[in-house]
Amino acid sequence: MFTIPKMWEEFRESSDFVYLRQSNKNEQYLICFLKSITDTNTLNEQILEFISANNGLHFNELFEELPIAEKELSSDWDAIRNKLLVGYVAVQHAASAQTILLNASISKGRTVSKPEIEFNVEGSKEALVESLDVNLNLIRKRLPVASLRIKELQVGDLSKSRVVICYMEDITNEQYVQTCLQRIGDIQFDTISDITIIQQIIEDNSNSIFPQMLGTERTDRIVWGLTLGQVCILVDGSPNAILGPVTLEHFFTSYEDYFLPWIIGSIIRMIRITSVLFSILASAVYVAVLTYHGHGISNSFLPTIIASRINVPFPPVVEVLIMELAIELLREAGARLPSKIGQTIGIVGGIVLGTAAVQAALTSNFLLIIVALSAMASFTTPVFRMSNTIRILRFPFILFAQMWGLLGIFLCSVIVVTHLLRLTSLGMPYLVPFYPLRLKGLTDTVIRPPYSKLHHRPGFYRTKNPVRYDNRKSNLKKDIDE
């Protein structure tokens, strides 16, 4: 009969800590585990069953024979404690100083489901989930090659999050991998609950509103990035991964473009880029033109604008700010509420408030159209973090437009472009291949080229192997009698 060792004392405060004594005639075992993360089926049917059935075995023999794949023999208290915290069962014997550690961990999480943020019509409906092992499984399944490397690190003093870096050994530039490994290793923050936290910490410029890593929940997009030479970072507990290095252009690329015929895909991509520009500039141009450049409006358009503005008591900038804030309010309210109420909010806010605001002459219906259109246009951005950036970016443009008119808009774009020029993503220029100009890298930017033109990886990734396939050998669509 032995008592519980002193070392378990700190666990006894937690109610999910279980210790039980199992006696087999003369052998007495102490079995400890945290029941919240331990699979009781494994424990009952495999461990306890085996111990009671194999009466009389020596402690070391017991360890050898236990039918559990992940087992360890340890006497180091720290190791034991860490294993116990991730779902191991500790088995001790009075006669031995060592402890058997058996993996009986169970992780509860949701099953693989449809992508919610990067929804698509065609293509797979498979998105990452919170469990890292499931996510790795999803990626491995799509890339069954040995050169897919997965490096695991542990980050966060409190959360002890498992962070994984995936890359293709024979493609990805070593430098990007090393940069990621080093930056993640240097993270000091105590709880890493999501990949976005890692993203913000390891980004080249943490003070920029532009994301410098591409967050995605689509496994096919991750695999596409990996095969191009990007590095993918995942963290346990987050249903998103980040890809890097990226360029600005990637944020306006939806993976669905690759599922569509290349002409349609390219046109949709161009529409998306135009709508982003529209979203940033529309309300700023409205302010500038109405405040400074009235003579730039064509004659036939003039009555429409003036008639809708004439009873509005505010200058255009106040009017625009009110409307933009109202839209942000709607968006924020819609995002925070359950989806069913969110719809109601959309209707009440959008239709009722909009009409009422025009009738009460708080805003012109012309502006209402512009603001609604530009809000819609900002939603076309396929990457959520970038659409946040764009909705914030509008405000400095509006203020500059108020101060200096179109010149102000130009000034603000100069500032934004200068900032973009200085940005890097894991050391790669953010505006590549447009600046520095890489003509071959331009292949897959504004235009989504046909697959016959995608025989090389973009040069700016500096991949170890730039060739995707040998386009000279490819001769599809041969005639059958050739």
Partner 1 sequence: MVLMICVLLTACVKQQILERINLFIVAGFDEISRDQLEVTLAVPQFQAGKPETVTDQMYSRTGHTSTGIRDTIATQMDKPLQPGKLSVVIFGSAKAASGLKKELDILLRNAYFSRKIYLAVVEGKAKELLSEDFSKKDEKGMFLYQLLDSNTRKGALPGQNLHEFEYALVGKGMDSFLPILQFHNDRIAVTGTALFHKDKYVAALDLNQSRLMKLLLQDMNQGFYEVKLDNGLFLAVENVGSSVKYHLKNKAITINLSMKGKIREAEGYPTSDEHLRSLTKRFKQQLIQEETELIKTFQKNAIDPLGLGDFARSRTRHWNEEDWMRQYPMMNVDVDVQVNIMESGIRQ
Binding site for partner 1 (CB under 8 A): 289-292, 294-295, 297, 299-300, 302-312, 315-316, 361, 403-405, 407
Q: Nearer to partner 1 by C-beta: 144 or 303?
A: 303
Which residues pair with residue 425 across a beta bridge?
428
Token duo for residue 6 = 């002193």
Q: Nearer to partner 1 by C-beta: 307 or 376?
A: 307
Q: Nearer to partner 1 by C-beta: 86 or 321?
A: 321
Q: How near is the Cβ of 284 to partner 1 at its closest, in Å?
A: 15
Q: How near is the Cβ of 318 to partner 1 at its closest, in Å?
A: 11
Three-state SS at 116: coil
Q: Nearer to partner 1 by C-beta: 58 or 293?
A: 293
Q: Nearer to partner 1 by C-beta: 144 or 313?
A: 313
Spatial neighbors of 118 by CB under 8 A, at least 6 apart, are: 127, 216, 217, 218, 221, 254, 255, 382, 383
Q: Nearer to partner 1 by C-beta: 222 or 368?
A: 368
Burial class (CB in 10 A: 0-12, 13-18, 19+), 215: buried
Q: How near is the Cβ of 405 to partner 1 at its closest, in Å?
A: 6
Q: b vs e for 364-383, b when ≥16 Cβ sit within 10 Å of the residue's Cβ?
A: bbbbbebbeebbebbebbbb
Is the Cα torsion angle 166, 172, 173, 176 positive or negative in sign?
Answer: negative
Q: How near is the Cβ of 277 to partner 1 at its closest, in Å?
A: 24
**Any idea what the Cα angle at residue 377 is, between residues 374 and 379, rounded to 5°?**
120
Q: Report the C-alpha gap between 221 and 246 in whole angstroms.
A: 13
Q: How near is the Cβ of 283 to partner 1 at its closest, in Å?
A: 15
Q: How near is the Cβ of 365 to partner 1 at its closest, in Å?
A: 9
Token duo for residue 97 = 């100083």
Q: Report the C-alpha gap between 463 and 460 in whole angstroms.
A: 8
Q: Nearer to partner 1 by C-beta: 345 or 411?
A: 411
Over its C-alpha atoms, the chain yields an Rg (Å, rounded) of: 30
Amino acid at 427: G
- Specify whether the CB–CB gap between 315 and 335 falls below 8 A: no
Q: Nearer to partner 1 by C-beta: 396 or 449?
A: 396
Three-state SS at 81: helix
Q: Nearer to partner 1 by C-beta: 89 or 320?
A: 320
Q: How near is the Cβ of 392 to partner 1 at its closest, in Å?
A: 18
Q: How near is the Cβ of 369 to partner 1 at its closest, in Å?
A: 14
Q: How near is the Cβ of 140 to partner 1 at its closest, in Å?
A: 51
Q: How far, in whole angstroms, is CA 404 from its chain's centroid? A: 38
**Any idea what the Cα angle at residue 183 is, between residues 199 and 388, rounded to 5°?**
15
